[in-house]
Amino acid sequence: MHHFAYRNGSLFAEEVALSRIAAEVGTPVYVYSSATIERHYRLYEAAMKSAAPAGKAHVFYAMKANGNLGVLKTLAALGAGADTVSEGEIRKALAAGFPPEKIVFSGVGKSESELRFAIQAGIYQVNIETERELDLLSRIGAELGKRQEAVFRVNPDIGAGGHAKITTGSSENKFGVSFEEVGRLYARAANMSGVRIMGLALHIGSQIRETASFEAAYTKMVALVGSLRGEGHRVDRLDLGGGLGIPYEMPKDFDHGPELIDAYAAMVGRVTRGLDVELGFEPGRMIVGNAGVLLTRVLHLNPRPTKQFLVVDAAMNDLVRPAMYEAYHEIWPVTEADADAATVAYDVVGPICESGDTFTSGRVLPTLKPDDLIAFMTAGAYGASMSSTYNQRLLVAEVLVKGAEYAVTRPRQSYEELLGTDRAPPWLA
Ligand code: LLP
């Protein structure tokens, strides 16, 4: 469910016309809906709390999905925690108002200075991925006179996800310590003064639209809790990761309900019933994916004998998912076409100088012309957060809508900002 809909033939975000945002802010521009973010967060949190043993569930929004300050502040105000993967993300989470005691630090390659920063900030939990990281964390913690709470991210050897590049839970992937190693690491950590191990974490992949792979991984994890406790180790926390997928196919009249969240929560409840643990969750896409669109303007038509290219002003540097994962995004014209309008199969492409800058091929859309506006739907997750300045293109603007209001929460980058940080080498200055 989301809050982008046609009113009198024109596409709106909540109560704001996208054509107005395009006129006032320019294109390309990401537009996010506060109402959708709030709805998804509340639904997800309520479902996980009802599923967790004794209602103990913490939701840490995976801010890599969308780190826009307006989006972060919206979620912080709802009481969400933040799942971070770099010092930059921790700093931004703090700046957005997430309290340190609601911040988790995950990631396969944390540096010494990042760990130091995290401990000094007083964050809730570090998700340790390697033995060396355990040693490093404890050494820095001891140096700082602190005992950092942490969990081991285990690799359940169950991978899942919408694309090979976003599968993380298989033993072929670089993430986490193996099940066989955890007991030994737990035993070592018991003698360390700078770290306190609180439990386990896992994350098996992203854009997973069924519950069976989660269930298989969580079941293995629950068995591991039993055996670790049998060896006398303390397991108070289970961080079950993120990865729940969302519908990218969105016929206009189809209202997706929270069925998948409910099915997932029911499964979590079943698998963890009676286990005395606090659950953690790290959803990203599920919270923000359907809450954003990338609004772009048609620049040119380029008819070929076998194809019709539609060149738009957004490119793969603004939304890389189609080029990188063959991802599908619905395209809705901002001006609604009549039901009997003529259609054309378009190859929708951006201005970047490589053929990979293709959003879709042969997509049947109502006839479009230069200056028309279209929206790439479901672009709220891993859209702006993965953007770059490839081809010296400016990072696009981002806008947050709330009811009848909107705010530019990140202005379009300026050419001064784009070019101003470069330095010539002294021998060429
Ligand atoms: N926790 C960890 C440890 C993660 O690595 C991720 C995502 C999440 C949570 C959040 O997963 P989500 O709930 O959003 O599926 N750029 C790709 C997705 C990469 C996901 C990376 N890890 C895409 O555009 O599809």
Does residue 357 surpass a pLDDT of 80?
yes
Compute the distance between CA of residue 65 and CA of residue 286 in angstroms, rounded to an integer.
9
Determine whether the annotation assigns residue 30 to a binding site. Answer: no
User: What is the 426 CA–ligand 1 centroid distance (Å)?
Assistant: 42
Q: Which fold has domain 4-31+290-420?
A: Lyase, Ornithine Decarboxylase; Chain A, domain 1 (2.40.37)
Please give the number of the atom of ligand 1 that sits closest to the Cα of 153. Answer: 3
Determine whether the annotation assigns residue 382 to a binding site. Answer: yes
Determine whether the annotation assigns residue 303 to a binding site. Answer: no
Q: What is the dihedral of CA 206, 279, 200, 153, to 10 degrees?
A: 20
Point out the least confidently predicted range of 60-74, 149-163, 336-350, 411-425: 149-163
Test site for ligand 1: of 48, 63, 64, most ligand atoms within 8 A of the Cβ: 64
**Residue 270: φ, ψ to 5°:** -65, -45
Which homologous superfamily is 52-282 in?
A: Alanine racemase (3.20.20.10)
Does residue 6 surpass a pLDDT of 80?
yes
Please give the number of the atom of ligand 1 that sits closest to the Cα of 245. Answer: 15
Determine whether the annotation assigns residue 354 to a binding site. Answer: yes
Please give the number of the atom of ligand 1 that sits closest to the Cα of 282. Answer: 9
Determine whether the annotation assigns residue 351 to a binding site. Answer: no
Does residue 1 surpass a pLDDT of 90?
no
- Quote helix, strand, coil % in the chain, to nearest 5: 35, 25, 40
User: What is the 370 CA–ligand 1 centroid distance (Å)?
Assistant: 36
Compute the distance between CA of residue 97 and CA of residue 95 in angstroms, rounded to an integer.
5
Please give the number of the atom of ligand 1 that sits closest to the Cα of 107. Answer: 3
**Per-residue pLDDT reduced to its tens digit, 84-106:** 999 999 999 999 999 999 999 99
Say what the pLDDT of residue 379 is.
98
User: What is the 8 CA–ligand 1 centroid distance (Å)?
Assistant: 37
Mean pLDDT across 242-255: 83
For the chain, what are the domain ranges?
A: 4-31+290-420, 52-282
In Å, how far are 44, 209, 242, 265, 403 from 257, measured between CA atoms? Answer: 12, 14, 19, 14, 21
Say what the pLDDT of residue 258 is.
84
Say what the pLDDT of residue 3 is.
94
User: What is the 59 CA–ligand 1 centroid distance (Å)?
Assistant: 15
Determine whether the annotation assigns residue 411 to a binding site. Answer: no
Mean pLDDT across 382-387: 98
Determine whether the annotation assigns residue 282 to a binding site. Answer: yes
Task: Indicate if ipTM > 0.85.
Answer: yes
User: What is the 392 CA–ligand 1 centroid distance (Å)?
Assistant: 27
Test site for ligand 1: of 59, 103, 285, most ligand atoms within 8 A of the Cβ: 285
Number of Cβ within 10 Å of residue 23's Cβ equals 11
Contacts of 258 (CB under 8 A, 6+ apart): 1, 43, 47
Q: Is 148 a catalytic site residue?
A: no
User: What is the 103 CA–ligand 1 centroid distance (Å)?
Assistant: 16
Q: Report the chain's mean pLDDT, rounded to a whole number.
A: 96
**Catalytic residue from among 339, 342, 353, 429:** 353
Compute the distance between CA of residue 336 and CA of residue 355 in angstroms, rounded to an integer.
29
Strand partners, 294: 30, 376
What pLDDT band is residue 252 in, cutting at 50, 70 and 90? low
Say what the pLDDT of residue 166 is.
73
Strand partners, 11: 6
Compute the distance between CA of residue 210 and CA of residue 212 in angstroms, rounded to an integer.
6
User: What is the 60 CA–ligand 1 centroid distance (Å)?
Assistant: 12
Statement: the pTM of the whole predicted model exceeds 0.95: yes
Which one is predicted more confidently, 257 or 323?
323
**Per-residue pLDDT reduced to its tens digit, 43-91:** 999 999 999 999 999 999 999 999 999 999 999 999 999 999 999 999 9
Identify the residues whose C-beta falls under 6 Å from ligand 1: 62, 65, 83, 106, 166, 168, 203, 206-207, 241-243, 282-286, 321, 325, 381-382
Cα–Cα nearest to 359, from 309, 405, 393, 401: 309
What pLDDT band is residue 175 in, cutting at 50, 70 and 90? confident
Residue nearest ligand 1's atom 22 by CA: 206
Does residue 172 surpass a pLDDT of 90?
no
Site of tokens 């955890």:
182
Compute the distance between CA of residue 327 and CA of residue 399 in angstroms, rounded to an integer.
23
Residue nearest ligand 1's atom 16 by CA: 382
